[in-house]
Structure 1
Amino acid sequence: MTLSRCVPPIVFCFAFFIISVSAADDFEYDGRKKCSGCHKSQYKSWKQTGHAMALESLRAGEKTEAKEKAGLDPAKDYSEDKKCVGCHTTGFDMEGGYEIEDPSKYTVGVGCESCHGPGKKYRRSHRKASDQFDKEKKSTPRQTLADAGEEFEFIERCSSCHMNYEGSPWSGTKEPYTPFTPKVDPKYSFDFEKYVRDEKAMHKHFKLTGVFEGPPQPAFHKEFQDTAESASAE
């Protein structure tokens, strides 16, 4: 189940975080500490979203009304329930990702790699390209990141948690399903195009400096970059 805000205010998903990108299992999670070292502004913005507190929403006494409405026990702690934590943590049950028995604070919550893909390999590509750009002002093909496992089509990743219910129009549904459906409350309807533009759901986007160029790019890339501000240097 998920209480994160990749979208509606409260959405529970009784499902593992299903990675639909090809060969995702070949890549390893690295934790958001590595990401936040360079992307400080994005990290600061992300901490204000429901995604950051996703695991906390599973704890006893949290989101009581929503849990009762869906037939769950609000007095129960779901934060170690394998049917729930996959959509409230990063990389659950995958190499380098969140483990119930040995939780890492850098994989708690729906973090960077939940949307961008497991980053241990593409982080190295980021570093190499950034160093090259600083020294030579030469951009690197963005395809380099895709080849190293970075995700650029986010809708499937979001849908794997937010649309995994019986009767969902999403083709990737599988058990265990979430009991939090649009029939329970219309707010559980998932509209990717709407919520990807909601800064309460997503971290704020900042102006890219030109380290990478070319495809692949999300469909909304140009729209976001046209209005983005520069990231803080701090």
Structure 2
Amino acid sequence: MVFMVAFFVAVGMTSQGRTNSGQYVGSEACAECHEKEYNNYKKYSKKAHSGESVKMMAGDLTRQELEECFECHMTGFGKPGGFVGFTETPQMAEAGCETCHGPGYDHIEAGGDPELIKAKLELADCERCHNPERVAAFDFKPLLFGGAH
């Protein structure tokens, strides 16, 4: 009986789009509904090319150092559907939409439900990557809108 109740609750949540899969889908999936933002991101944002910098430096870094770079420069590194490697998941080899807005699968599956994505960003969201230590080391200049919005 408990199993059936749990099953129906889980199925009901899925059909209403209230899941929390944490699944990443890549920026191109966002472009289907957010074409203007996606085009601005690709054209103006340095984040759209962040994987290239890491790729150029990869030979000089230890695996641990490289993974630290992946945390911010790649989309969803170490998470479901996220960046695995340049060959396996080249579409995730950038700091894409989901790097700031969170995993998009549930948002998309629920027809764009705004409750299933971080729509309104704050400076604190940027500070996960653009923190004082990194700003000092790399002369980062956090931009809340970063070219996409």
Q: 1:115 to 1:154 in 2, by over 3 A?
A: farther
- Aligned 8 A contact 1:58 1:77 in 2: no
Per-residue CA deviations over 1:213-234 (Å, capped at 9, x if unaligned) read xxxxxxxxxxxxxxxxxxxxxx
Q: Find out whether 1:159 has 2:127 as its counterpart.
A: yes
Secondary structure of the equivalent of 2:47? coil
More helix by share: 2
Supply the AA of the counterpart residue of 1:121: D
- What are the within-5 Å matches in structure 2 for residues 1-234 of structure 1? 26-48=21-43, 49-60=45-56, 76=60, 81-100=66-85, 103-127=88-112, 144-146=113-115, 148=116, 150-151=117-118, 152-163=120-131, 165=133, 180-182=134-136, 184=137, 187-188=139-140, 190=142, 195-197=143-145, 201-203=146-148, 205=149
The structural deviation recorded for 1:38 is 2.5
Q: 1:33 to 1:156 in 2, by over 3 A?
A: same
Per-residue CA deviations over 1:11-50 (Å, capped at 9, x if unaligned) read xxxxxxxxxxxxxx74211112211122222211111210
Q: For residues 44 and 162 of structure 1, what CA distance do their matches in structure 2 show?
A: 23
- What value does the CA root-mean-square deviation take over the aligned residues? 3.0
- Consecutive unaligned residues in structure 1, runs of 5 or more: 1-24, 62-73, 128-143, 166-179, 206-234
Q: For residues 80 and 135 of structure 2, what CA distance do their matches in structure 1 show?
A: 30
Identity, % of aligned positions: 24
Secondary structure of the equivalent of 2:50? coil
Q: For residues 36 and 78 of structure 1, what CA distance do their matches in structure 2 show?
A: 34
TM-score, structure 2 length as denominator? 0.68
Q: 1:181 to 1:117 in 2, by over 3 A?
A: closer
- Consecutive unaligned residues in structure 2, runs of 5 or more: 1-19
Secondary structure of the equivalent of 1:54? helix
TM-score, structure 1 length as denominator? 0.46
- Aligned 8 A contact 1:28 1:94 in 2: yes
Supply the AA of the counterpart residue of 2:25: D
